[in-house]
Amino acid sequence: MSNTARREVRATARSARREDGMRVPFGWMAATLGLAAAGCPASSSVEIQPLDNQTVRVGETLNLDIAVRNPGGGMLSFSFSMPDLPDSGAEIYSLGSSGGRFRWTPLASHAGAHSCTITASAGGASDSETITINVQQANSAPVFIQPGAGGTYDLAREPCVAVHVEVKDDDSLPASIQIFERDPRIEGATLTPNGKQADWRWCPTPAQVDASDRYTLALAARDESHEPVSHDYVIVLRGEGRTECTGTGPEIVSSTPPPPDVLATSLDYLVAAVVRDDRGLKDAPILYWSTDPPADPLKPDVTAFHQVVFVADGGENYHASIPNLGLAAGERRTIYYVISATDNDDPAGAGCDHRTDSSLRQFDVSAGSGTERVGYCETCSSSAQCDSGQCIAGVSRFCGAACPSCPAGASCRTVTTVEGRSVESCVPEGLNCRAAGPCTDDRFEDNDTRTAASAIAPDIHTGLQICPRDPDFYRISASSSGTLDVQIDGWDAWTADLDLMVLRGDGTPMRVSEGIEGSESVQVCVTPGTYYVEVYGILDDQGPYDLLVDLTGGSCCTDDALEDNDTWRAATPLLFPGDMADGQICSGDEDWFVFDGEAGRRALVDLVIEGTGDLDLELYDRDGIRRLASSAGITDTEHLEADLPASGDYYIRVFGYRGAEAAYLVSYDLGGGTGCTSSRTCPTGTVCNGTTCVDDACTPGASTCPAGTFCPEAGGTGGPSDCVDPCTSSADCRSGYACKVFAAAAGCAVSGAGQNGDPCTSFRSCAGARTCLAWPGGYCAVQGCDANADCPGGSKCVSVGGSLGTCVKDCLLRDDLCRLAEGYTCECVEDVEGAWQFVCLAPGVSARWCY
């Protein structure tokens, strides 16, 4: 259908909906298009005009316009056949009564010559034309095979660093390849190129070793057809350090390898870490990893490991990605890793900096479903991991977006994928996702480190800005003892998450505020001296903010000796039932405790408050997120109880109501459990097995769900699911749950926040009765509808893919209601009532089309 015809249909549909209760009868719409109007001349013949054979490269898009002689003037329909490629991914569609278009973007596996028969039909007549489509290998840019992301060198073993460089470029001769160093170059190093290979050598001088333990070899390669391709190789010089240096090394507080015991994914493997130091880190920590077990697990030789530099997430948080191993189905491997961090105790060089290496850690991985995808600017190691099918080789490897509808801050240009293909892709300026999007720094820049902190006085400072991965530091001087109040606000909490930390003069954290609302505040007691404020965004979040600083003299609430336990991750352990802890809540403070719970037991938590402050009490599940019970009275005691669904850590939160302050005593005990007869009385994340509330986690196809419940497919990217109770309506479900229709049956499942057509990872992401369709990026929708009246507002009941009736998002008003950047389109389809509707569909999804 032409764009003009499409606009006419949509305008008519809007008018008809207004006049007919939003329903457009099929026959009436067909008459509008002239498809079924009386008096139309019958088609006597259809003839496809001659088509030439076509040639296209892998990764490029072939658009073949098909002209048709159609004297009858009826709407044309098209089909095609490629016998040797039944799953080619090509598509063909009508452009009205005079032609159509064939569209195909071949993959590398499609290289070769293919016969393609195109058929046009109208009014009972048809004609076919057969052509040959020759798919050539892509004109590829150079791709660096060696070296990897970086290497660590022990100068005590070998005083020089030797790096072998190799690029792959199958359609270029060796003599046409140039391998060279970009600026800034490492002084004293030499590069000897030889076609598609080169050798780089550097013998660091004592001055260079003392100046820094980390250098970047900035490489580039070009052929005769493409812009230079860059590659950075991080060199780490490793030594024992000096014995006369004072101070202590960084503390690697925690690291989180990907759960569960065996990570089954087609995406890269994420490792998160919390690293702190009293004077800050000189550089981001390094993740060393290997699939080979080290000879000495107690002191692994990391020079034999692969290495990845962590990315700062703000505060003390970091993450790194290990490239996916590309395992075959049924294959399982162990990844061994070590985290290494170096402090900044020697600001003039590296000689007296301290290095801390974590113990050897490990996790197992296996093959994923192959359907997992990540979106624009997410880290990738292959194009198959990206929604767009384009993993771009830039400052780091990231997913581009499909042209021409680019995200904010991106533009459509010719770039090179990690496989060496030249593609048109939406990419950020400078091919740097860490700086993606328009962002203008504020007047206090450059204050990105504690040593460069901007000195400010107590006041309201407006018009400030956080850019991606660009924290702001401020220095505050206190001349007397008192209370320091710091607050930030003014950003859109729906699009950004900014956080706040106050640090002592030596850089050690005093208190952090890491909420998810549009403001953060911290209050601390201070004595005369220097203090620092850090404002930062989570990952690539950015946004404007205002900063309020207030410093008042006088007496101050003093934290207890258990600080800093202001988050569940930093919770203070209660070691055994009956164990007690003394604490102090100051305004804006909260204290967390953790204890080891047993499945089927009942936790009993008591809080005794000393003084008049109104303190409250909460109990959280093992993830520190799901609240199991709470107590918010107004007396000097609080008490709560909850059955524990599984064995593991549980978290207690003590906090003041509206800034209340008081000393307290907290304790816990374990009882025998009260049992259950249905899941309606069980906490979120659990299900009743007839006698006890147990963990609801399950794996579809291998379920151990209690009798009377079942384990549905999670939808979205697949993976673990939850045991659910059968239901006929949401009235059968407990608070926070809804009756969702799955392929097997309807079940009471957690209700999330995702609305019609929103992306999702599983049904847990979707609000109300919506489940998560396994479409690209996931798609929240109600299934099992029989009429439009069964659907939430803003969706229509359509049979898609021959499945149950599905409530698909309505896009009648405009196309951009659909997720265009992810390949979704607004299509005209027939709903289950026979009316025509415009709805958002994923690429490749079938339905009853309007035309």
Phi first, then psi, for residue 32 (nearest 5°) are -60, -40
| Range of weakest confidence among 50-54, 105-109, 317-321, 693-697 | 105-109
How many angstroms separate the CA atoms of 109 and 635, rounded? 71
Say what the pLDDT of residue 796 is: 92
Concatenate the DSSP letters of all residues of 278-306 into one string.
Answer: TT-BSS--EEEEESSPPS-TTS--GGGSE
Which helix (H) or strand (E) segment holds residue 224: the answer is none
Q: How much of the chain exceeds pLDDT 90, in percent?
A: 24
Give 259's pLDDT tier (boundaries 50, 70, 90): low
Coil, helix or strand for 822? helix
Neighbours of 581 (CB within 10 A): 20
| Range of weakest confidence among 188-192, 230-234, 641-645 | 641-645
Give 10's pLDDT tier (boundaries 50, 70, 90): low
Give the rounded distance of the alpha carbon of 489 from its chain centre: 25
| Range of weakest confidence among 428-442, 555-569, 798-812 | 428-442
Give 798's pLDDT tier (boundaries 50, 70, 90): very high
Question: Do the beta carbons of residue 849 and residue 93 sit within 8 Å?
Answer: no
| Tens digit of each residue's pLDDT (9 = 90 or more) over 525-562 | 888 999 999 999 876 778 899 999 999 887 778 778 78
Coil, helix or strand for 501? strand
Give 184's pLDDT tier (boundaries 50, 70, 90): confident
Say what the pLDDT of residue 14 is: 46
The pair of structure tokens assigned to 823 is: 């390949």
How many angstroms separate the CA atoms of 392 and 375, rounded? 12
Say what the pLDDT of residue 122 is: 87
Residue pointed to by tokens 């006085």: 457
434 or 567: whose pLDDT is higher?
567
Neighbours of 713 (CB within 10 A): 18
Residue 375 has pLDDT above 80, yes or no: yes
Question: Do the beta carbons of residue 568 and residue 624 sit within 8 Å?
Answer: yes
**Average pLDDT in the 510-523 region?**
82
Q: Measured at the alpha carbon of residue 320, what is the angle toward residues 319 and 326, in degrees to the nearest 5?
A: 140
Closest CA to 193 of 221, 159, 227, 157: 221
Say what the pLDDT of residue 464 is: 92
Give 120's pLDDT tier (boundaries 50, 70, 90): very high
Phi first, then psi, for residue 832 (nearest 5°) are -70, -15
Say what the pLDDT of residue 438 is: 58
How many angstroms separate the CA atoms of 198 and 220, rounded? 11
Query: In the beta sheet, which residues pair with residue 165?
Result: 198
pLDDT, the chain, mean: 83
Say what the pLDDT of residue 435 is: 52
How many angstroms separate the CA atoms of 541 and 314, rounded? 10
Coil, helix or strand for 206? helix
Say what the pLDDT of residue 16 is: 47
How many angstroms separate the CA atoms of 850 and 590, rounded? 59
The pair of structure tokens assigned to 794 is: 């803003």
How many angstroms separate the CA atoms of 715 and 819, rounded? 18
Residue 254 has pLDDT above 80, yes or no: no
How many angstroms separate the CA atoms of 365 and 257, rounded? 11
| Tens digit of each residue's pLDDT (9 = 90 or more) over 589-604 | 899 999 999 887 889 9
| Range of weakest confidence among 135-144, 255-264, 733-742 | 255-264
Which helix (H) or strand (E) segment holds residue 210: the answer is helix 206-211
Residue type, 305: F
How many angstroms separate the CA atoms of 729 and 660, rounded? 43
Q: How much of the chain exceeds pLDDT 70, in percent?
A: 90
**Average pLDDT in the 693-713 region?**
84
Rounded to two decimals, the pTM is 0.43
**Average pLDDT in the 575-598 region?**
89
Closest CA to 145 of 197, 187, 106, 211: 197
| Tens digit of each residue's pLDDT (9 = 90 or more) over 608-637 | 998 888 999 999 987 777 788 889 888 889
Say what the pLDDT of residue 674 is: 65
Question: Do the beta carbons of residue 149 and residue 135 sit within 8 Å?
Answer: no
Residue 817 has pLDDT above 50, yes or no: yes
Coil, helix or strand for 659? helix
> CA neighbours within 13 Å on the CB side: how many for 822?
19
Say what the pLDDT of residue 179 is: 93
Domains of the chain with bracketed CATH: 47-136 (2.60.40.10), 143-238 (2.60.40.10), 251-367 (2.60.40.10), 383-435 (no CATH), 450-543 (2.60.120.380), 568-671 (2.60.120.380)
Concatenate the DSSP letters of all residues of 721-790 into one string.
Answer: EE-BEE-SSGGGS-TTEEEEE-SS-EEEEE--SB-TT---SSGGGB-TT-EEESSTT-EEE-BS-SSGGG
Say what the pLDDT of residue 32 is: 39
Say what the pLDDT of residue 21 is: 41
Residues whose CB is less than 8 angstroms from the CB of residue 245 and which lie 6 or more positions away in sequence, other chains included: 345, 346, 351, 352, 354
Say what the pLDDT of residue 9 is: 53
Say what the pLDDT of residue 27 is: 38
**Average pLDDT in the 316-321 region?**
84
Question: Do the beta carbons of residue 664 and residue 609 sit within 8 Å?
Answer: yes
Give 127's pLDDT tier (boundaries 50, 70, 90): very high
| DSSP type of residue 94 | E
Strands 721-722 and 697-698: antiparallel
How many angstroms separate the CA atoms of 576 and 328, rounded? 45
* Buried residues in 104-140 as b, exposed as e (16+ CB within 10 A): bbbeeebeeebebebbbbbbebbbebebebebeebbb
| Tens digit of each residue's pLDDT (9 = 90 or more) over 474-511 | 999 999 888 899 999 988 777 788 899 999 888 888 88
Give 758: exposed, middle or buried? Use CB within 10 Å, 0-12, 13-18, 19+.
buried
How many angstroms separate the CA atoms of 52 and 30, rounded? 34
| Tens digit of each residue's pLDDT (9 = 90 or more) over 748-797 | 998 888 889 999 888 888 888 899 988 888 999 998 898 988 888 889 99
Say what the pLDDT of residue 4 is: 43
| Tens digit of each residue's pLDDT (9 = 90 or more) over 32-91 | 343 333 333 443 588 999 999 998 877 777 889 899 988 887 888 899 999 988 878 888
Give 258's pLDDT tier (boundaries 50, 70, 90): low
809 or 8: whose pLDDT is higher?
809
Query: In the beta sheet, which residues pair with residue 584?
Result: 663
How many angstroms separate the CA atoms of 318 and 281, rounded? 12
How many separate helices (H) and strands (E) can be counted in the chain?
3, 62
